[in-house]
Amino acid sequence: MQPTDALARFRDRLSLPLIAAPMFLVSGVELVVAACRNGVIGSFPTVNCRSPEQLDQWLTDIDDRLKEHSDASGKPAAPVCANLIVHRSNARLEQDLQVLLHHRPEMVITSVGSPAPVLKPLRDAGALVFADVASIRHAERAAAAGADGLVLLTAGAGGQTGWLNPFVFVRAVRAFFDGPLVLAGGIADGHALRAAEALGCDLAYMGTKFIATWESMADARYKEMLAASSADDILLTKAFTGLLTNMLRPSIEAAGLDPDDLPERGAIDIGKDIDIGARENRPKRWKDVWSAGHSVSGVTEVLSVDEMVARTAAEYRNAATRLRLS
Protein backbone atom coordinates (compact mmCIF):
# COMPACT_ATOMS: atom_id res chain seq x y z
CA MET A 1 0.00 0.00 0.00
CA GLN A 2 1.51 3.31 -1.02
CA PRO A 3 0.66 5.88 1.61
CA THR A 4 -0.80 8.99 0.06
CA ASP A 5 -1.61 12.21 1.80
CA ALA A 6 -5.25 11.95 0.89
CA LEU A 7 -5.78 8.69 2.75
CA ALA A 8 -3.49 9.48 5.67
CA ARG A 9 -6.39 10.99 7.59
CA PHE A 10 -8.04 7.59 8.10
CA ARG A 11 -5.60 4.89 7.02
CA ASP A 12 -4.98 3.81 10.61
CA ARG A 13 -8.70 3.10 11.04
CA LEU A 14 -8.70 0.50 8.23
CA SER A 15 -8.13 -3.20 8.90
CA LEU A 16 -7.80 -3.83 5.15
CA PRO A 17 -7.39 -1.55 2.11
CA LEU A 18 -11.01 -2.25 1.29
CA ILE A 19 -14.31 -0.55 0.47
CA ALA A 20 -17.63 -2.41 0.74
CA ALA A 21 -18.82 -1.17 -2.67
CA PRO A 22 -21.98 0.90 -3.07
CA MET A 23 -24.79 -1.26 -4.48
CA PHE A 24 -28.28 -0.32 -5.58
CA LEU A 25 -30.92 -2.03 -3.39
CA VAL A 26 -28.20 -3.95 -1.54
CA SER A 27 -26.22 -1.54 0.66
CA GLY A 28 -28.12 -0.24 3.66
CA VAL A 29 -27.54 0.84 7.25
CA GLU A 30 -26.75 -2.67 8.57
CA LEU A 31 -24.15 -3.42 5.91
CA VAL A 32 -22.46 -0.03 6.24
CA VAL A 33 -22.31 -0.22 10.04
CA ALA A 34 -20.97 -3.80 9.99
CA ALA A 35 -18.32 -2.94 7.39
CA CYS A 36 -17.14 0.18 9.24
CA ARG A 37 -16.99 -1.71 12.57
CA ASN A 38 -14.71 -4.21 10.85
CA GLY A 39 -12.32 -1.56 9.59
CA VAL A 40 -13.67 -1.55 6.03
CA ILE A 41 -14.96 1.65 4.40
CA GLY A 42 -18.75 1.24 4.25
CA SER A 43 -20.51 2.82 1.30
CA PHE A 44 -24.04 3.10 -0.05
CA PRO A 45 -25.74 4.88 -2.96
CA THR A 46 -27.88 7.76 -1.69
CA VAL A 47 -30.64 6.58 -4.06
CA ASN A 48 -31.10 3.53 -1.83
CA CYS A 49 -32.98 5.91 0.46
CA ARG A 50 -36.57 6.64 -0.55
CA SER A 51 -36.14 10.38 -0.05
CA PRO A 52 -33.64 13.02 1.10
CA GLU A 53 -35.38 12.85 4.51
CA GLN A 54 -34.62 9.14 4.72
CA LEU A 55 -31.03 9.82 3.67
CA ASP A 56 -30.77 12.25 6.56
CA GLN A 57 -32.16 9.56 8.87
CA TRP A 58 -29.78 6.87 7.59
CA LEU A 59 -26.74 9.09 8.06
CA THR A 60 -27.86 10.00 11.57
CA ASP A 61 -28.47 6.33 12.46
CA ILE A 62 -25.13 5.21 11.04
CA ASP A 63 -23.31 7.98 12.86
CA ASP A 64 -25.04 7.16 16.17
CA ARG A 65 -24.13 3.50 15.87
CA LEU A 66 -20.51 4.13 14.97
CA LYS A 67 -19.50 7.06 17.12
CA GLU A 68 -18.86 5.06 20.29
CA HIS A 69 -17.34 2.12 18.47
CA SER A 70 -13.79 0.95 18.92
CA ASP A 71 -12.44 -2.50 18.10
CA ALA A 72 -10.41 -4.80 20.37
CA SER A 73 -7.29 -2.74 19.72
CA GLY A 74 -9.08 0.55 20.39
CA LYS A 75 -9.40 1.50 16.74
CA PRO A 76 -12.44 3.65 15.85
CA ALA A 77 -14.74 2.67 13.00
CA ALA A 78 -13.67 3.07 9.37
CA PRO A 79 -15.18 5.96 7.37
CA VAL A 80 -18.66 6.02 5.91
CA CYS A 81 -18.79 6.82 2.20
CA ALA A 82 -21.85 8.03 0.30
CA ASN A 83 -22.19 7.28 -3.41
CA LEU A 84 -23.77 10.06 -5.42
CA ILE A 85 -25.14 9.32 -8.88
CA VAL A 86 -24.26 12.53 -10.73
CA HIS A 87 -26.04 11.63 -13.97
CA ARG A 88 -28.72 14.11 -15.05
CA SER A 89 -31.35 11.37 -14.68
CA ASN A 90 -30.93 11.58 -10.88
CA ALA A 91 -33.64 14.11 -10.05
CA ARG A 92 -32.62 14.07 -6.39
CA LEU A 93 -28.98 14.98 -6.91
CA GLU A 94 -29.19 18.52 -5.54
CA GLN A 95 -31.33 17.55 -2.55
CA ASP A 96 -29.14 14.58 -1.65
CA LEU A 97 -26.07 16.77 -2.02
CA GLN A 98 -27.50 19.24 0.51
CA VAL A 99 -28.11 16.42 3.00
CA LEU A 100 -24.54 15.20 2.55
CA LEU A 101 -23.14 18.68 3.05
CA HIS A 102 -25.09 18.90 6.30
CA HIS A 103 -23.65 15.58 7.55
CA ARG A 104 -20.12 16.29 6.33
CA PRO A 105 -19.19 12.72 5.26
CA GLU A 106 -15.52 11.81 5.23
CA MET A 107 -15.72 10.41 1.72
CA VAL A 108 -18.04 10.55 -1.30
CA ILE A 109 -17.80 8.57 -4.54
CA THR A 110 -19.48 9.98 -7.63
CA SER A 111 -20.86 7.68 -10.33
CA VAL A 112 -22.13 7.89 -13.88
CA GLY A 113 -20.77 11.29 -14.85
CA SER A 114 -18.28 14.00 -14.14
CA PRO A 115 -17.65 14.85 -10.47
CA ALA A 116 -16.99 18.51 -11.40
CA PRO A 117 -20.37 19.99 -10.34
CA VAL A 118 -20.23 18.54 -6.82
CA LEU A 119 -16.49 18.60 -6.14
CA LYS A 120 -16.10 22.02 -4.58
CA PRO A 121 -19.02 21.97 -2.13
CA LEU A 122 -18.18 18.46 -0.95
CA ARG A 123 -14.51 19.23 -0.49
CA ASP A 124 -15.33 22.48 1.29
CA ALA A 125 -17.43 20.34 3.66
CA GLY A 126 -14.38 18.19 4.36
CA ALA A 127 -15.07 15.15 2.14
CA LEU A 128 -12.59 13.30 0.01
CA VAL A 129 -14.24 13.05 -3.39
CA PHE A 130 -13.52 10.01 -5.54
CA ALA A 131 -14.94 9.57 -9.05
CA ASP A 132 -15.65 6.24 -10.69
CA VAL A 133 -14.44 5.90 -14.27
CA ALA A 134 -14.45 3.15 -16.90
CA SER A 135 -12.04 4.49 -19.50
CA ILE A 136 -8.66 6.18 -19.60
CA ARG A 137 -10.27 9.25 -21.18
CA HIS A 138 -12.74 9.55 -18.30
CA ALA A 139 -9.95 8.99 -15.78
CA GLU A 140 -7.99 11.86 -17.35
CA ARG A 141 -11.05 14.12 -17.22
CA ALA A 142 -11.90 13.30 -13.61
CA ALA A 143 -8.26 13.86 -12.60
CA ALA A 144 -8.23 17.19 -14.46
CA ALA A 145 -11.48 18.19 -12.72
CA GLY A 146 -9.67 17.73 -9.38
CA ALA A 147 -11.04 14.45 -8.03
CA ASP A 148 -9.11 13.35 -4.93
CA GLY A 149 -9.17 9.71 -6.02
CA LEU A 150 -10.37 7.48 -8.84
CA VAL A 151 -12.33 4.23 -8.79
CA LEU A 152 -11.37 2.17 -11.83
CA LEU A 153 -14.27 0.04 -13.04
CA THR A 154 -12.71 -2.94 -14.77
CA ALA A 155 -13.87 -5.96 -16.76
CA GLY A 156 -15.88 -8.44 -14.73
CA ALA A 157 -17.15 -5.96 -12.12
CA GLY A 158 -20.66 -6.42 -10.77
CA GLY A 159 -23.36 -3.96 -11.81
CA GLN A 160 -22.73 -1.58 -14.69
CA THR A 161 -19.21 -2.68 -15.41
CA GLY A 162 -16.01 -1.51 -16.99
CA TRP A 163 -14.43 -3.43 -19.85
CA LEU A 164 -10.70 -2.72 -19.57
CA ASN A 165 -8.28 -5.31 -18.27
CA PRO A 166 -7.30 -4.25 -14.71
CA PHE A 167 -3.55 -4.76 -15.27
CA VAL A 168 -3.63 -2.36 -18.19
CA PHE A 169 -6.09 0.11 -16.71
CA VAL A 170 -4.32 0.59 -13.38
CA ARG A 171 -0.88 0.93 -14.92
CA ALA A 172 -2.13 3.37 -17.59
CA VAL A 173 -3.80 5.60 -15.00
CA ARG A 174 -0.83 5.40 -12.62
CA ALA A 175 1.25 6.94 -15.39
CA PHE A 176 -0.58 10.27 -15.01
CA PHE A 177 -2.36 10.18 -11.63
CA ASP A 178 -0.58 9.83 -8.29
CA GLY A 179 -3.61 10.18 -6.03
CA PRO A 180 -5.42 7.22 -4.49
CA LEU A 181 -6.69 4.56 -6.89
CA VAL A 182 -9.40 2.04 -6.12
CA LEU A 183 -9.69 -1.14 -8.17
CA ALA A 184 -13.29 -2.24 -8.82
CA GLY A 185 -13.97 -5.67 -10.24
CA GLY A 186 -12.64 -9.16 -9.71
CA ILE A 187 -11.67 -8.83 -6.05
CA ALA A 188 -12.93 -12.12 -4.67
CA ASP A 189 -10.53 -12.62 -1.76
CA GLY A 190 -7.52 -11.32 0.14
CA HIS A 191 -5.11 -12.63 -2.50
CA ALA A 192 -6.76 -10.49 -5.17
CA LEU A 193 -6.74 -7.55 -2.77
CA ARG A 194 -2.99 -7.94 -2.31
CA ALA A 195 -2.60 -8.11 -6.11
CA ALA A 196 -4.52 -4.84 -6.50
CA GLU A 197 -1.96 -3.19 -4.23
CA ALA A 198 0.93 -4.73 -6.15
CA LEU A 199 -0.51 -3.15 -9.30
CA GLY A 200 -0.45 0.28 -7.72
CA CYS A 201 -3.89 0.66 -6.12
CA ASP A 202 -4.42 2.04 -2.64
CA LEU A 203 -7.82 0.45 -2.06
CA ALA A 204 -10.16 -2.00 -3.75
CA TYR A 205 -13.90 -2.52 -3.95
CA MET A 206 -15.62 -5.72 -2.99
CA GLY A 207 -19.22 -5.67 -4.13
CA THR A 208 -20.54 -9.13 -4.95
CA LYS A 209 -18.88 -10.66 -1.87
CA PHE A 210 -20.78 -8.25 0.37
CA ILE A 211 -24.13 -9.03 -1.28
CA ALA A 212 -23.81 -12.53 0.17
CA THR A 213 -23.64 -11.36 3.78
CA TRP A 214 -26.39 -11.51 6.37
CA GLU A 215 -26.30 -7.74 6.70
CA SER A 216 -26.95 -6.88 3.03
CA MET A 217 -30.50 -5.93 1.99
CA ALA A 218 -30.50 -8.49 -0.86
CA ASP A 219 -33.20 -11.15 -1.08
CA ALA A 220 -32.18 -14.44 0.59
CA ARG A 221 -32.67 -16.28 -2.75
CA TYR A 222 -30.22 -13.86 -4.39
CA LYS A 223 -27.61 -14.62 -1.72
CA GLU A 224 -28.10 -18.38 -2.13
CA MET A 225 -27.84 -18.06 -5.91
CA LEU A 226 -24.50 -16.28 -5.53
CA ALA A 227 -23.20 -19.11 -3.34
CA ALA A 228 -24.26 -21.66 -5.98
CA SER A 229 -22.84 -19.74 -8.97
CA SER A 230 -19.42 -19.36 -10.55
CA ALA A 231 -17.89 -16.80 -12.91
CA ASP A 232 -19.23 -18.93 -15.79
CA ASP A 233 -22.74 -17.92 -14.70
CA ILE A 234 -22.11 -14.23 -15.34
CA LEU A 235 -23.56 -12.78 -18.53
CA LEU A 236 -22.32 -9.45 -19.89
CA THR A 237 -25.31 -7.77 -21.54
CA LYS A 238 -26.83 -4.41 -22.36
CA ALA A 239 -30.34 -5.90 -22.45
CA PHE A 240 -31.40 -4.76 -19.00
CA THR A 241 -29.91 -1.30 -18.56
CA GLY A 242 -28.76 -0.20 -22.00
CA LEU A 243 -25.21 -0.17 -20.57
CA LEU A 244 -22.83 -3.09 -20.22
CA THR A 245 -23.95 -4.87 -17.07
CA ASN A 246 -22.89 -8.20 -15.56
CA MET A 247 -25.93 -10.27 -14.71
CA LEU A 248 -26.51 -13.66 -13.09
CA ARG A 249 -27.68 -16.10 -15.76
CA PRO A 250 -29.72 -18.26 -13.35
CA SER A 251 -31.74 -15.21 -12.27
CA ILE A 252 -32.52 -14.41 -15.91
CA GLU A 253 -33.69 -17.99 -16.43
CA ALA A 254 -35.73 -17.89 -13.21
CA ALA A 255 -37.46 -14.76 -14.54
CA GLY A 256 -38.60 -16.76 -17.58
CA LEU A 257 -36.09 -15.31 -20.06
CA ASP A 258 -33.46 -17.06 -22.16
CA PRO A 259 -30.02 -15.55 -21.35
CA ASP A 260 -28.81 -16.62 -24.79
CA ASP A 261 -31.71 -14.98 -26.59
CA LEU A 262 -32.38 -11.68 -24.89
CA PRO A 263 -34.16 -8.79 -26.55
CA GLU A 264 -31.98 -6.10 -27.99
CA ARG A 265 -30.01 -3.56 -25.98
CA GLY A 266 -31.98 -1.77 -23.32
CA ALA A 267 -35.26 -3.44 -24.27
CA ILE A 268 -35.62 -4.71 -20.73
CA ASP A 269 -35.63 -1.72 -18.49
CA ILE A 270 -34.52 -2.53 -14.97
CA GLY A 271 -36.41 -0.56 -12.38
CA LYS A 272 -39.41 -0.26 -14.66
CA ASP A 273 -41.73 -2.79 -16.23
CA ILE A 274 -40.14 -5.13 -18.66
CA ASP A 275 -40.89 -3.96 -22.14
CA ILE A 276 -41.88 -7.32 -23.55
CA GLY A 277 -44.82 -9.67 -23.17
CA ALA A 278 -48.30 -9.05 -21.92
CA ARG A 279 -48.68 -6.67 -18.99
CA GLU A 280 -49.93 -9.45 -16.71
CA ASN A 281 -46.70 -11.35 -17.43
CA ARG A 282 -44.41 -8.54 -16.35
CA PRO A 283 -43.36 -9.26 -12.79
CA LYS A 284 -39.67 -9.13 -13.68
CA ARG A 285 -38.01 -6.11 -12.28
CA TRP A 286 -34.60 -5.26 -10.90
CA LYS A 287 -35.65 -7.17 -7.84
CA ASP A 288 -36.00 -10.42 -9.82
CA VAL A 289 -33.12 -10.23 -12.28
CA TRP A 290 -29.90 -9.93 -10.35
CA SER A 291 -26.39 -8.64 -10.97
CA ALA A 292 -23.03 -10.01 -9.86
CA GLY A 293 -19.41 -9.81 -10.91
CA HIS A 294 -16.88 -12.49 -11.85
CA SER A 295 -15.91 -12.41 -8.18
CA VAL A 296 -18.99 -14.56 -7.57
CA SER A 297 -16.58 -17.49 -7.89
CA GLY A 298 -15.30 -16.46 -4.45
CA VAL A 299 -18.75 -16.72 -2.84
CA THR A 300 -19.28 -20.19 -1.39
CA GLU A 301 -21.69 -19.47 1.44
CA VAL A 302 -23.61 -16.63 3.03
CA LEU A 303 -21.57 -15.19 5.89
CA SER A 304 -21.76 -12.43 8.47
CA VAL A 305 -19.70 -9.36 7.60
CA ASP A 306 -17.51 -10.14 10.66
CA GLU A 307 -16.69 -13.58 9.26
CA MET A 308 -16.26 -12.41 5.67
CA VAL A 309 -13.80 -9.68 6.66
CA ALA A 310 -11.92 -12.02 9.03
CA ARG A 311 -11.47 -14.56 6.22
CA THR A 312 -10.38 -11.86 3.78
CA ALA A 313 -7.84 -10.57 6.32
CA ALA A 314 -6.43 -14.10 6.77
CA GLU A 315 -6.13 -14.52 2.99
CA TYR A 316 -4.49 -11.12 2.74
CA ARG A 317 -1.88 -12.18 5.32
CA ASN A 318 -1.35 -15.52 3.58
CA ALA A 319 -0.81 -13.75 0.28
CA ALA A 320 1.95 -11.68 1.88
CA THR A 321 3.59 -14.80 3.29
CA ARG A 322 3.43 -16.47 -0.10
CA LEU A 323 5.06 -13.42 -1.68
CA ARG A 324 7.50 -13.21 1.24
CA LEU A 325 6.37 -9.67 1.93
CA SER A 326 6.69 -8.31 5.42
Ligand X SMILES: Cc1cc2nc3c(=O)[nH]c(=O)nc-3n(C[C@H](O)[C@H](O)[C@H](O)COP(=O)(O)O)c2cc1C
Q: Which residues bind ligand X (CB under 6 A)?
A: 21-24, 26, 45, 83, 111, 132, 153, 157-159, 184-187, 205-208, 291-293, 295
Angle at 280 between CA 275 and CA 285, to 5 degrees: 50
Q: How far is the CB of 292 from ligand X (least distance, A)?
A: 6
* CB of 15 closer than 8 Å to CB of 40: yes
Nearer CB in complex with ligand X: 75/135: 135
Q: Give the burial string for 37-53 (b: 16+ CB within 10 Å, else e).
A: bbbbbbbbbbbbbeebe
Nearer to ligand X, 69 or 221 (CB): 221
Given a contact cutoff of 8 angstroms between Cβ atoms, the answer to whether 295 and 156 are in contact is yes
- Beta carbon of residue 246, minimum distance to ligand X (angstroms, whole number): 7
Minimum CB–partner distance for residue 245 and ligand X (Å): 9
**Which residues touch 234 (CB under 8 Å, ≥6 apart)?**
156, 246, 247, 248, 249, 292, 293, 294, 296
Least distance (Å) between residue 283 CB and ligand X: 19
Q: Least distance from C-beta 187 to ligand X, angstroms?
A: 5
- Closer by beta carbon to ligand X, 8 or else 48: 48
| Cβ distance to ligand X smaller for residue 132 or 197 | 132
State which residue has the least CB distance to ligand X: 207
- 268 vs 326, which CB is nearer to ligand X? 268
- The least distance separating ligand X from the CB of residue 188, rounded to whole angstroms, comes to 7
- Residue closer to ligand X, measured from CB, 186 or 190: 186
